[in-house]
Amino acid sequence: MKYGQRTFIFTFLFIPVLVYVVFVAVPYLTSMAVAFTKWRGLSMNITFNGFNNFIKLGNDENFWNALSHNGIALIALPIVIIIISLFFAFLFTQGIRGNGFFRVAFFFPQVMSAIIVGVLWSFVYHPTIGMLNGFLGILGVSSMKSFPWLGDPNTVFGAILAVTVWQAVGFYMVLFITGMESIPPHFYEAAKLDGANSIVMFIQITIPMLWESIRTAIVFLALGAMDMYAIVMIMTNGSGGPSRAADVVPRYMVEAAFQNGEWGYATAMAVVLMLIILILSILSLRFTQRETLEF
Amino acid sequence: MANVKFEHVTKRYGDVVAVNDLNIEVNDREFLVFVGPSGCGKTTSLRMLAGLEEISEGNIYIGDRVVNDVPPKDRDIAMVFQSYALYPHMSVYDNMAFGLKLRRVPKAEIDRRVKEAAKRLGIEALLDRKPKQLSGGQRQRVAVGRAIVRNPAVFLMDEPLSNLDAKLRVQARAEISKLHMQLGTTFIYVTHDQVEAMTMGTRIAVMKDGLLQQIDTPQNLYDRPDNVFVAGFIGSPSMNFFEATLTGGDGEMFVDAGVFRVKIPAERQEPYKSLKGKQVIFGLRPENMHDPEYAPPGIHQALVESKVEVTELMGNEVIVYLNAKDKSFLARVDPRSKMRVGNSVGIAFDMDRFHIFDKQTERAVR
């Protein structure tokens, strides 16, 4: 390293590292410690609790219920969102009329905050004045008249997942369109001469060449599936749905900390969630890894 | 194996005519080269034949069948792309086998054909590699291999050597020619490089601005170009052109270019008699201008005084840049020539090899 270069680098690194240590590293480590305590969050009375918080978690039905919903989202969201996004990306790269408008229209939900999306769709799902039931009424589905989509334990989580899909599809569609448009056309021409039809070309040429984008989508969506806090809070009025039918771990964690005053327990939940996300990230990156393509 | 026919084929992109009324018959087992500058319509013609571009007017035949509406995969053709278009996520083997798999050729047969083609091209050791692990020359071979395994009736090649370095290009040129002879299949090849065209083609179609200028054997194109464009395009360095007037009387005829006045031998005067007094374009190739000391014996020479501006010693020849009264031209002379920069020299025009073109139509007068 040249003379003075070290000082120069350290000067620039000092502030970001300081911010990271104070606002990220210290809280992480502190929460790890808090997870092993019994603390109500306000008093100075913190007692060491060993692994009891974790043992309690293992026996807590509500936690497993919330985690199962995250698990369902983990499976469903990447599959559904990627398939729908790929479909629309393919459609809008075929040179159809007005695709510029559709691209913007599909991307639009992405720029809205989860709060607005949640409120908007709560109205759509409203049993009496909601657009969905009104629409079903027009179609003659009278059995769905006044059906409480967000008030029925059988439908509430599905309804929320549908909103998540609606919001995310535009972003991933744009991601895939960019990827598809960067694939040189001569590969498709060569495939045409080789005898490939559109489906074969999509599976054998487009998907492999788009893999880096799909991989990014899988990782992002997997991590997003472990969260879902905002949308669930808004659409279930903070309750996690009737009979906790749409509860997710982050929401239950907030309930434990801020409503029940079990900070030690909530933090243990956070630590477990962090470990799950860490493992998920590693697994999804490893299992989706392919050779980098040059074209 | 099949013959190919372009019948009044036109391709338009909006108002732009990329290919204009193209009529060519390519015989079975022939090696036809489309050559011309960028944008002349050569690649578009090939792509129409491949089925990658729609035809605006006319018909294309492969064998006896009109293929205008036949999908590319059913035309019994294989194409080598300029960029090779090797699927980057597949191994060399899979790249070569892909087309056969889609045609449901039995696995054992695919294996046999791929290995046979790989052996022929010397790429057996590369079958498990991915395209990015190959050099440019190896990729080019794989692209050719992918075409060979299909055993098509017609091979199409779109500038397949343009991404190779000069030395490799010369080698690959010979290999493709050899391949054509071994396979005995119709080859249609597109290039902008007239040397490739001359060395590989059994016939060459020269195109410019979407129009076919001339189609003939390499030697005929060189010896008897139909117009100024073909004369200038074929041959390297290009033919020298001089605006001139044909003059004379009493059985004598001269080309008067202002900067020089040279005599046309009696036996070559006949076709030009009607042009006496008219303006023409006089063309002479650099290899038909000699240092008088080393001029081939028995030719009709005409000496033209000029000044040497630059000389390029190539070993087997010297390229001399000459200037006669502000008109520049090039000569390829014997390497023993003592012409040096700044010298005033007499350069010997071989008057048995000149070309005359009509100034208005730019067409050859013979």
pTM (predicted TM-score) = 0.83
Q: Do B81 and A189 touch (CB under 8 A)?
A: yes
Give the nearest partner residue to B89 out of A186, A191, A208, using CB atoms. A208
Instruction: Give the residue from chain A lying closest to B131, CA to CA.
Output: A294
Q: How is residue A92 annotated by DSSP?
A: T
What pLDDT, on the 0 to 100 scale, is given for residue B299?
92
> Which residue from B50, B81, B89 is facing A209, i.e. has the nearest CB?
B89
Residues of B in contact with A189 (CB under 8 A): 50, 52, 72, 79, 81, 85
**pLDDT of A104 above 90:** no
All residues of chain A having their beta carbon less than 8 Å from the beta carbon of residue B98 are: 191, 194, 204
Q: What angle do CA B176, B179, B184 make, to 5 degrees?
A: 130
Q: Angle formed by the axes of helices A211-225 and A156-181, to 10°?
A: 160
Q: Tell me what pLDDT residue A1 has.
A: 61
pLDDT tens per residue across span B206-229: 999 999 999 999 999 999 999 999
Mean pLDDT of A121-149: 87
Helix (H) / strand (E) containing A60: none
Quote the distance between the C-alpha of residue B342 and its chain's center: 35
Q: What is the pLDDT of residues B83-116, one digit of tens each?
A: 999 999 999 999 999 999 999 999 999 999 999 9
Over the stretch A219-267, which tens digit does the pLDDT of each residue have?
999 999 999 999 999 999 989 989 999 999 999 999 999 999 999 999 9
CB-CB under 8 Å, B89 with A291? yes
Average model confidence (pLDDT) across chain A = 91
Helices A263-287, A211-225: axis angle to 10 degrees equals 160
pLDDT of the residue at A291: 74
Residue in chain A lying closest to B132 (CA) = A294
Question: For chain A, give me the number of helices (H) and strands (E)?
Answer: 15, 2
Residues of A in contact with B72 (CB under 8 A): 189, 192-193
The SS3 of residue A48 is strand
Residue A3 pLDDT more than 80?
Answer: no
Among A270, A266, A242, A210, which residue's Cα sits nearest to residue A90? A210
How close does chain A come to B97, measured CA to CA in Å?
10
- What per-residue confidence (pLDDT) applies to B195? 93
Among chain B residues, the shortest Cα distance to A188 is held by B85
Contact between B98 and A204 using a beta-carbon 8 Å cutoff: yes
Radius of gyration of chain B (CA): 25
pLDDT at position A141 is 80
CB atoms within 10 A of CB B125: 10
CB contact under 8 A, B52 and A189: yes
A293/B89 CB distance under 8 A: yes
Query: Does the interface predicted TM-score (ipTM) exceed 0.90?
Result: no
Does A193 contact B77 at a Cβ distance shorter than 8 Å? Answer: yes
Helices A61-91 and A99-111 pack at an angle, to 10 degrees, of 160
Residue from B43, B90, B95, B102 to probe the interface with A (highest A Cβ count within 10 Å): B102
Return the sign of the alpha-carbon dihedral for residues A254, A256, A260, A265: negative
- Determine the distance from the C-alpha atom of residue B102 to the mean position of all C-alpha atoms in its chain, rounded to a whole number: 35
CB-based burial label for A169 (10 Å; 0-12, 13-18, 19+): buried
Residue extents of the structural domains in chain A: 58-287
Determine what percent of chain A is predicted with pLDDT higher than 90.
65
Stretch B177-199: mean pLDDT, rounded? 94
C-alpha distance from B123 to closest chain A C-alpha (Å): 20
**Closest alpha carbon within chain B to A187:** B85
Chain B's closest residue to A292, CA to CA, is B89
Of A2 and B323, the structure prediction assigns the larger pLDDT to B323
CB contact under 8 A, B89 and A290: yes
Q: Is the pLDDT of residue A96 over 90?
A: no
pLDDT for A8: 87
Please give the pLDDT value at position A7: 87
**Residues B102-157 pLDDT 10s:** 999 999 999 999 999 999 999 999 999 999 999 999 999 999 999 999 999 999 99
The confidence band for B309, taking pLDDT boundaries of 50, 70 and 90, is very high
Instruction: Give domain A58-287's CATH number out of 1.10.10.10, 3.30.70.20, 1.10.3720.10, 3.40.50.300.
Output: 1.10.3720.10
Is the pLDDT assigned to residue A143 strictly greater than 80?
A: no
What is the reported pLDDT for B250? 77
pLDDT per position as a tens digit, A180-225: 999 999 999 999 999 999 999 999 999 999 999 999 999 999 999 9
Chain A residues touching residue B73 (CB < 8 angstroms):
192-196
Confidence of residue A31 (pLDDT cuts 50, 70, 90): confident
